[in-house]
């Protein structure tokens, strides 16, 4: 796609070079002159294909800058909803100097891969405020898992939520009612109130709010991380996360 875009830019350049500077003026190029210029530029590109690579690199850089600027603007506009929603679980250091927000889905393989690394990051750093946003997007199993976790938090508090979260992110198989019943019991809770709470408006409104926020922020995949005015779309290895945290912290 980017190669085609870069080629399109170069094609536009050829056309613009070949276009007359004055449509009807005395300096307008003839059709023959325009054809000759196009042929000359084409020959140059064929002889120097590295120009295409250079153009694609410039295009990629511009796209990344534009995307980062859009993300920063969105994050500034939605800061309160992103970083300070009372419906989100907050862990790590609640008074940390930097907040890491994760939009996650329990059935997402990369969320599962990131889970232990994020825990390591938060624990080793000691000064990160960590926020989890329930963002089920991968089907019924994802939705049911988030419903269970939110119901546990509403009924039993933050400590119980974190235990449920950790269990769900490593759960094998589908989160059937039977599986969730056993899980609730294993966590030391009466399963019946949790299962009854799951489909309620109080639970579903949390999920709906997170989905609406994600739509506004153009988040369509998991995991997605937010650090101050930086949005990280996708899994980032521990070392990369540590570097990004250091850079964001350095910028203030």
Q: Give me the DSSP letters along 59-86.
A: HHHHHHHHHHHHHHHHHHHTHHHHH--T
Last residue of some domain: 27, 46, 77?
77
Last residue of some domain: 45, 77, 109?
77
Region 13-25: mean pLDDT is: 49
Structural domains of the chain, count: 2
Number of H helices, E strands in the chain: 11, 5
Q: How do residues 170-217 score in pLDDT, each as one tens digit?
A: 999 999 999 999 999 999 999 999 999 999 999 999 999 999 999 999
Same domain, 180 and 92: yes
Quick one: pLDDT at residue 11? 53
Residue of higher predicted confidence among 105 and 44: 105
Containing structural domain, residue 11 = 2-77
Same domain, 203 and 245: yes
Same domain, 73 and 99: no
Query: Buried b / exposed e across 218-232, counting CB within 10 Å, b at 16+?
Result: ebebbbbbbbbbbbb
Same domain, 176 and 96: yes
Same domain, 73 and 113: no
Same domain, 145 and 197: yes
Last residue of some domain: 77, 101, 130?
77
**Three-state secondary structure call for residue 157:** coil
Same domain, 33 and 103: no
Q: How do residues 65-112 score in pLDDT, each as one tens digit?
A: 767 677 777 778 889 999 999 999 999 999 999 999 999 999 999 999
Same domain, 37 and 117: no
Query: pTM, whole model, 2 decimals?
Result: 0.74
Same domain, 102 and 64: no
């Amino acid at each position: 796609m980017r190669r085609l875009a870069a080629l399109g830019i170069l094609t536009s350049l050829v056309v613009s070079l070949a276009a007359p500077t004055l449509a009807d003026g005395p300096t307008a190029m003839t059709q023959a002159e325009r054809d000759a210029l196009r042929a000359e530029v084409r020959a140059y590109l064929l002889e120097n294909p590295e120009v295409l690579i250079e153009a694609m690199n410039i295009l990629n850089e511009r796209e990344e800058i534009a995307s980062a600027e859009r993300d920063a603007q969105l994050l500034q506009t939605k800061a309160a909803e992103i970083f300070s929603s009372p419906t989100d679980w907050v862990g790590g250091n609640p008074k940390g100097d930097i907040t890491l927000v994760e939009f996650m889905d329990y059935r997402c393989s990369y969320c599962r891969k990131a889970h232990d690394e994020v825990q390591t990051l938060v624990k080793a750093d000691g000064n990160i405020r960590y926020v989890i946003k329930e963002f089920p997007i991968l089907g019924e199993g994802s939705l049911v898992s988030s419903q269970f976790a939110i119901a546990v938090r509403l009924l039993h508090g933050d400590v119980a939520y974190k235990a449920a979260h950790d269990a769900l992110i490593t759960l094998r198989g589908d989160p059937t009612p039977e599986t969730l019943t056993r899980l609730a019991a294993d966590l030391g809770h009466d399963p019946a109130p949790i299962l009854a709470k799951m489909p309620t408006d109080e639970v579903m409104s949390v999920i709906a709010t997170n989905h609406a926020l994600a739509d506004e922020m153009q988040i369509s995949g998991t995991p997605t991380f937010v650090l101050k005015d930086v949005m990280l779309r996708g899994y980032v290895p521990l070392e990369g996360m540590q570097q990004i945290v250091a850079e964001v912290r350095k910028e203030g």
